[in-house]
Structure 1
């Protein structure tokens, strides 16, 4: 039974770890959208366009500011290479569309500054003709001036293009193919009519969003929301710290504490946990709104804000699987424990071992559930799907380095599994590991806890338990040594007395059921200048050997005193 102080310490440790984990996940999510480099014509399209095969078609979405607008199709079979794939089409189309709302830059900051000095201060050229800071492709302007129009293309296809003031030639956007029409169930002309309306509406909205005044308004609103969330988070964090202090005071042993105060402790604990969850949710909301301030990252921000529900769903699913596996483990161990083929003398040991396996198995299942849930949560973070393979390989290298650093823990884990499978010892056994001995109180995944005679708890890594002496596995035994004086040992009389006392001892009701065999007199064990040692062997049920040893020694000493039989003066009674 854990004391309240131990519980509060472990709760605080868990809360610190959860805070650190939440912070790491938030930083990891936040840096994903910030990793994007300045947009260039070769990089105008997003890198996370993904396709999938639907029937006879390969389909891929086309996004504007991160929101899917169209779905293009390709009849290409995997690996045929006969036509342009849907994924490649979507990438090219997104690049064409981004020319109308995203700032395109071919120059570095130094090149842009050099061009500005040259054109404005030296040559005096118009700003619209500047390559780095002007509008070289004549695509900027008012949002409402953009018009998407249809033009007949070859082989029954339809070309959608954008007409802008200041451009003599329209900007081609995409071609509606027969495969697109077949997938959507329309002719290319009918589908082009729908896409024309969608593109004109979406592109005008994107151009408005990227206007400097709209970007400034977005930043101002985001700052206001972030300040409000920061204030509420600080208040919630202060409330959580206050509840923690009250819990520490309530759980501190005080005999004069009122019963009502003890009854309110569970409510304080619940309020502390709720406030802690609120702090995490508010921190996640701050990250989500910060990401939403970046144009084109609204889906990512919504994905972040929906993460708590997603995590809760995953936790419920993983928890249900772990609970089912724990129930299955309990059922299998119960069936294994109650097998009729087990001899009676091994039944008690099997019950003891089944409890040990149940405890360790439940811990292992819980740990596995936590690891799986953590992997699912990290893999479901928006933005991580586009992480390059090199990053994952680097993460694998880091994990390999960590495995080398923590190889001792891995060795302890493997040794713990071997201990459980091979039944070296179980909870309740009295074992001796090197110079340490005591009762096994816990067999963990990494360590084993022993309770010594002086009630100290000894924690031993499982990898150190290589040579273990188990005094209580299935049966127990102890050797009694009766030292006699070397000059006049009177062996015949002493052996006769020992035989009588052993018979009387085995017949006693309190020892009859605990002795597996009658005490065995082995005779003379050793002769030294100090004593002639007689050996008596006791075989008892698990854990009863030392009590039986003390009782039989007391009985033998009392009988030898009555018979005036001397004992050696300089020898102990046991080996």
Structure 2
């Protein structure tokens, strides 16, 4: 019997201990014994501090002084709330918010639970967590700044499950005067204005010195490395000073916003915008650098592919240079767009814009796309041009009478330099028909006009055949040929003479020098063998047809 009672007692004790956390909703703070009570006079002496006409008191959070509240010193029959009382009230509000006092003891809470379980009662007098709505659930709080008419500002906490915000503290006029928010903002604004004026003077001085250095370099007429280095350094310093001036302007706006009651978070966001913009710029720059390096590596591996035939290696290198330049430029443009969009979206108020504003922005983008449809057409044509490999940097092309070497390729335009060193810029979308003289291989049709007085054409054939063979076996000029020159024979006969052609197929871009050297050798051989070339004298000696002849 004794053993049975002992076992029942142990089981009942274990069950009660298991139900304690579910019933009491207590934490370890509930079991910490309170210290000895202090008198109101002692607390006032510890908290109160007089400074001029104000009484100051510290508000402590977990024993650490956090903020200072103030109240005017009461003189004569004046009445008001003392600063020490306000500090204790604020501390009590914070304690009630995060560690509410239990109205009942542990035994009373256990008794209430047993009665509620047996009688099915809905009374929860001892449940401390439901009094303020916090319920120790870890749910984040939302702070609000409230004001009743022209009264003081009040900081309150919006709790989940509670309709009315829970008041925490009230900012009085004495708090504003003793903390000097407006005075401090004014002093900061004056200091920032003085610093901005100094930066403006420095920037103007740097601009004057930069202009003077430009004039000196133009006067010298020759490049001076020391002067150019100094010029670049002063230009970089001028840009840095200009950026610092913009940062000071944003900082001044942020300080003004901070001085407005209830706008401290907005002011802090404005102050942080330049620093965040610099961080975003550096992050996107690093990402763009990595992308450029990756594209360079991939394109270099593509250009060095061993499976490409030797005759196509030169063209592959040309495409490599063109694709590398265009890819890097495209990465730079995308990076600039990402930075601008990222900075714009983080500006306070832009991200939380209304739907109507977003629709208006979409309509504006549509209008801009309609206005700049030519640029979009050039961009699309540039992408197609890159994919189809119509030409590359270094090619000699001809477009509507404009002939020259491709110097620069972009997604919108192409730059061509002519023989007389003129630079022609062509919109890609306007190129309807183009001739590429140097893609993969080049060639030239060399025409020799033989006079009609030269009756023995076999000598011409033998001379051309001999020179073709010698030219193909030449160690210098033969390497520029992709095959032996082809004697096409007589092309046509005109009044001037007999036209004979030789086809030269050369490496890309070697056709003109090869043609000139081949013509020099053939003409020297023809003169040496006495072959008469057309000189126009046959036209002068030709008799006009007789009247009535057929």
1:270-328 per-residue CA deviation (whole Å, 9 max, x = no partner) reads 32232122111111112212333433221111111111221222222212221221121
Q: Is the 8 Å Cα contact of residues 486 and 528 (structure 1) preserved in structure 2?
A: no
| CA positional deviation for 1:430 | 0.6
| CA positional deviation for 1:237 | 2.3
Equivalent residue number for residue 248 of structure 2? 282
Q: Is the 8 Å Cα contact of residues 284 and 339 (structure 2) preserved in structure 1?
A: yes
Equivalent residue number for residue 181 of structure 1? 135
Q: Is the 8 Å Cα contact of residues 454 and 531 (structure 2) preserved in structure 1?
A: no
- Name structure 2 gaps, 5 residues minimum: 1-79, 97-102, 104-121, 141-157, 538-550
Q: Is the 8 Å Cα contact of residues 210 and 295 (structure 1) preserved in structure 2?
A: no
Alpha carbons of structure 1 residues 142 and 487: separation in structure 2 relative to 1, 3 Å: farther
Equivalent residue number for residue 195 of structure 2? 232
1:22-59 per-residue CA deviation (whole Å, 9 max, x = no partner) reads xxxxxxxxxxxxxxxxxxxxxxxxxxxxxxxxxxxxxx
Q: Does 1:496 align with 2:450?
A: no
Alpha carbons of structure 1 residues 209 and 434: separation in structure 2 relative to 1, 3 Å: farther
Alpha carbons of structure 1 residues 183 and 453: separation in structure 2 relative to 1, 3 Å: same
| CA positional deviation for 1:229 | 3.0
| CA positional deviation for 1:382 | 1.8
| CA positional deviation for 1:352 | 1.7
Equivalent residue number for residue 403 of structure 1? 369
Q: Does 1:352 align with 2:315?
A: no
1:406-448 per-residue CA deviation (whole Å, 9 max, x = no partner) reads 1111111111111211111111111111111111111112111
Equivalent residue number for residue 385 of structure 1? 351
| CA positional deviation for 1:467 | 1.8
Give the distance between the partners of 1:176 and 1:357, measured in 2 at CA: 69
Equivalent runs, 1:45-444 vs 2, <5 Å: 180-184=134-138, 200-202=167-169, 204-205=170-171, 208=173, 222=185, 225-251=188-214, 252-255=217-220, 261-444=227-410
Larger Rg: 2
* 1:513 counterpart SS class: helix
* 2:480 counterpart SS class: coil
| CA positional deviation for 1:156 | 5.4
Equivalent residue number for residue 463 of structure 1? 429
* 1:408 counterpart SS class: helix
Q: Does 1:561 align with 2:514?
A: no
Alpha carbons of structure 1 residues 561 and 321: separation in structure 2 relative to 1, 3 Å: same
Alpha carbons of structure 1 residues 487 and 381: separation in structure 2 relative to 1, 3 Å: same
| CA positional deviation for 1:365 | 0.8
Alpha carbons of structure 1 residues 267 and 528: separation in structure 2 relative to 1, 3 Å: same
Q: Which fold has the larger relative contact order, with Cα–Cα distance below 8 Å and residues 6 or more apart in sequence?
A: 1
* 2:218 counterpart SS class: coil
Q: Is the 8 Å Cα contact of residues 485 and 503 (structure 2) preserved in structure 1?
A: yes
TM-score (norm 1): 0.63
- Name structure 1 gaps, 5 residues minimum: 1-140, 159-174
1:90-135 per-residue CA deviation (whole Å, 9 max, x = no partner) reads xxxxxxxxxxxxxxxxxxxxxxxxxxxxxxxxxxxxxxxxxxxxxx
Tell me the C-alpha RMSD between the 2 structures.
3.7
| CA positional deviation for 1:355 | 1.8
